[in-house]
Chains A and B, each alone.
Chain A
Amino acid sequence: MSGAPSRTVEYLMQVSSEVSPMSVSADGSPLPVTIVGGYLGSGKTTLINQILNKASGRRYAVLVNDFGELAIDAQLIESEDGNVINLSGGCVCCSYGNDLTSAMMELDTSAIDQVVIEASGVALPGAIAGSLSLLTSYTLSSIVVLADCVTVQSHASDKYLADTIARQLASADLILLNKTDLLDESQLVQKKDWVRSNYQSARCVATSHADYPVDLFLTEHTSRDVNQCDKTNDSETHLTSVYTTFKLEVKDKYNVQQLAANLAETEPGLLRVKGFARDLSGQMQLIQIVGRRWNVRPAPVSAKEGIVCIGLSADNLCSEGVSARAGLI
């Protein structure tokens, strides 16, 4: 995916904006944080470069261990000051060295919509999420872990790295099995099977050059109109044909937590789910799913019922099938 965000993605951004204006500056509620983990060479920085270089209108604070391999388009850089680079459009990139907690505490969140943390190659994203849970100005959005499909299995049995790699992958909501261009089809199938059978708590997607629509995990909020839910049916064509988008009919009242959990567990898996449904008391709730992490929180009454799902086209997903498996019908 390149260029402007697809309309599907735009929609996703819009849905959440009005519903959950989460910036600390706005109403004191916490800022969403995405943790990007994975061992050295798995493609984390490539993914981070995409986030920084693609002006999507949202203001990210991207925290990296070091500026090392970052490739920020020089034209985007407004100013640099030691550990902080300010980008045009309001994004900021900071290096935190060995002290992520301090960096998070010192971050000026007033002009930031979302935080992305690039974990170091040996850091455990689950442990970072644990510390994050103590910082009331932030809330975990999702953990994305990249794996180099060529080396991940040997790393996972390496004398020094085995447990670190396993703990990294086990903490993921979404695993990007990267560098798949280096494998042939049968090798790739074997790698995917290996990841999927060993790390069932995450969705796994094959990528090359970390080319994944980052908005599928970075769409927590922006300030746009919420009532564009109906426009989504025709928008799937705007993601590449690798991905498919469809909408679920939602008319009833539900145990929304259970519904979200079901949607996160359906097989073949969904990569991104977002939408509204009424709970058993009639209150409108927002459902968000990234990979296998689901989240439910109250939504304004003005929100319109409906759930948008995005998955892989290759999985032959359809609205009816997912609805049935999730217990919607």
Chain B
Amino acid sequence: MITIYSAKKIVTMNPARPEATHVAVRDGRIIGTGALAELEGFGAGTLDDRFANKVIMPGFIEGHSHAVEGKWWRYVYCGFFDRMDPHGKVWSGVETIDAVVERLKQRDEAMTDPETPIAGWSIDPIYFAEKQLTRKDLDRVSTKRPIGIMHASGHIMNVNTRALELAGFLREGIDNGGLPLGDDGLPTGELRGPDVMMPVGAHAGFDSNMLDFDEPGLLDFGKLCVRTGVTTATDLAARLTDEIVGIGIDVTSRDNFPVRLSAYRFHHGLTPKELVRQVMNLTEKSTDRFRLGRIKIVADGSIQGFTARINPPGYYNGAPNGLWYIAPEQMLEIYELALQNNIQVHTHTNGDEATDLAIDMLEKALQKFPSNDHRFTIQHGQLVNAAQFRRMAKLGFCVNHFANHHFYWGDEHYQFTVGPERAERMNPCRTALDNNIPLAIHSDAPITPIGPLFTAWCAVNRITGSGRVQGHHERITVDEALYAITMGAAYTLQMDHEIGSIEAGKRADFAVLEDDPTEAEPFALRDIGVWGTVQDGRVFDASQL
């Protein structure tokens, strides 16, 4: 059966036919775009004009997200910026410590058992005038129940006195950089780094497997995707145990699940040989909407956590160099085995030293196992420089930059982590394109909100939280940014033959928008409304989720 959708405008991202008024769909696939008369040549169909006043784009593709965001919304949102939850409610940002306390009190009052923990997330005290949040602030919510709030960066947590007590940390004589002490010699309740967060966070209601999605969480993640125009997303650091794979296959196969999810197995906990063997086995379980069989390597830590590996001159504030999360030989072995077995690898690098390592290792691996279309991708690559791009171009590396970072932590990078010069060239989308590097841009949800139009806005404007443009020269055009969130991301996920543009033969995946991004002022890109999506020909109205 053929359905022909009419629209105010269809932006196809297909250079052969960049705009159309109609698109015809059969069995979940696009059979053509153009004028109605052109499409009627396929035979009788139903004309569906519900999008007559909308603008249709290819469904957006989030090339670096974590499906666990759906689960995190069960914690109390305490972020500085407004953020939409899976149900469409926009939570206003909390701008003072008092406001944080007030929000947690609301949850406290809604709970019957006085000792059940409260977990909150996405707080960012760098924006508070007082800056220092302590356990005493959170004690105003409750001294009986443990309370913990994870910072937006995911690298720090604040807890109340009860949580410290339960974890056995409410004592004098603690000597650990991760647990700053107050004037009274007791921990202030700030926990820096995962090693300190884990033992206390468990008491405050945080799941120990922070990256594992669950069934309701995955369903909620799907809703967030519809609300932001996303039809294909990634779960980019998955343990992929049998249980998780089972949930993923089950949930994504449901008729009402609106997203195609590509899950990348991360490298931790397995030797390179085991990793590749396991991923090859997973490939066989891959379904149409739950794609398996790819690898994610994490090479270093984060810049704002000072755990990224960076080249001289090092951190602006003099912090020692960060940490490796994989040995060079292991990265090389994974690259070699993956190339040999035609498995794609995405590699997280934040610091430029980590990117150097990935480039060196791929260069070596390719000498042994040449490949003319591997699409290995650098994820984040926040400090990639022009010389590295020139080598990456020769090796066939793609990049997926963390464009949202400028908005959320750009000022932080400028002042503390890498200093003004390097902050201005972080996530250098312009230089990537100038070197013909296939480019995607991402949110790293839940670290920042999923929303490709917002991510495109970040890449186009490079505005920091305080409103400065940081790195004019690395801005890209609206068209380039729209390409990055559709075809660019599709290419890095090895799906550009299926999705990313609206053209005959591809999946009927659409983002249905209230306005035309290609005509919008660059600064208005993030304000364009999303009506919902069409995914594999199935219509998802965001207001009806």
Q: B interface, by DSSP: helix, strand, loop or mixed? A: loop
Interface residue stretch chosen among B136-144, B319-327, B409-417: B319-327
Tell me the complex Cα distance, A97–B278, Å: 15
The answer to whether residues A97 and B196 also contact, given A39-B327, A133-B176 and a CB cut-off of 8 A, is no
Interface residue stretch chosen among A65-73, A169-177, A295-303: A65-73
Q: Specify which of A95, A122, A131, A134 is in contact with B325 (CB 8 Å cutoff).
A: A122
Q: Which residues of B contact A (CB under 8 A)?
A: 168-169, 174-179, 194-196, 198-199, 202, 208-209, 239, 266, 268-271, 273-274, 298, 309, 320-321, 323-330, 353, 356-357
The answer to whether residues A122 and B198 also contact, given A98-B268, A102-B208, A136-B168 and a CB cut-off of 8 A, is no
A329 contacts partner chain B, Cβ-Cβ < 8 Å: no
Q: Which residues of A contact B (CB under 8 A)?
A: 39-41, 65-66, 68-69, 83, 95-102, 105-106, 120-122, 124, 127, 130-131, 133-136, 160-161, 163-164
Chain A, Cβ-Cβ closest to B168: A136
Tell me the complex Cα distance, A242–B202, Å: 48
**Interface contact B175-A133, CB-CB below 8 Å:** yes
Chain A, Cβ-Cβ closest to B268: A98
Chain B, Cβ-Cβ closest to A95: B269
User: Across chains A and B, which 8 residue pairs bring their CB atoms closest together, nearest first?
Assistant: A97-B269, A131-B195, A68-B271, A98-B268, A122-B324, A101-B198, A136-B168, A121-B327
Which of chain B's residues have a CB closer than 8 A to the CB of A41? 329
Interface centre among A127, A134, A135, A163 (most CB of B within 10 A): A134
Could you pull out 9 A-B pairs where Cβ atoms are within 8 angstroms?
Answer: A68-B274, A99-B209, A100-B195, A101-B199, A102-B202, A105-B202, A122-B324, A127-B323, A163-B321
Chain A, Cβ-Cβ closest to B298: A98
Chain B nearest CB, measured from A280 CB (Å): 23
Which of chain A's residues have a CB closer than 8 A to the CB of B179? 134
**Interface contact A134-B202, CB-CB below 8 Å:** no
Tell me the complex Cα distance, A133–B309, Å: 26
Chain A, Cβ-Cβ closest to B324: A122
Q: Specify which of A134, A136, A160, A161 is in contact with B195 (CB 8 Å cutoff).
A: A134
Chain B, Cβ-Cβ closest to A161: B328
Tell me the complex Cα distance, A136–B274, Å: 34
**Interface contact B330-A121, CB-CB below 8 Å:** yes
**Interface contact A130-B195, CB-CB below 8 Å:** yes
Tell me the complex Cα distance, A39–B198, Å: 26
Chain A, Cβ-Cβ closest to B202: A105
Chain B nearest CB, measured from A268 CB (Å): 32
Chain B nearest CB, measured from A297 CB (Å): 16
Chain A nearest CB, measured from B484 CB (Å): 30
Given pairs A96-B269, A99-B198, 4 additional interface contacts (CB within 8 A): A97-B268, A98-B298, A101-B195, A134-B199
Which of chain B's residues have a CB closer than 8 A to the CB of A122? 323-327
The answer to whether residues A130 and B198 also contact, given A121-B327, A164-B324 and a CB cut-off of 8 A, is no
Tell me the complex Cα distance, A47–B474, Å: 51
Chain A nearest CB, measured from B494 CB (Å): 26
Chain B, Cβ-Cβ closest to A40: B327
The answer to whether residues A130 and B324 also contact, given A66-B274, A101-B194, A160-B353 and a CB cut-off of 8 A, is no
Chain A nearest CB, measured from B237 CB (Å): 10
Interface centre among A69, A95, A130 (most CB of B within 10 A): A130
**Interface contact A105-B199, CB-CB below 8 Å:** yes
Chain B nearest CB, measured from A125 CB (Å): 13
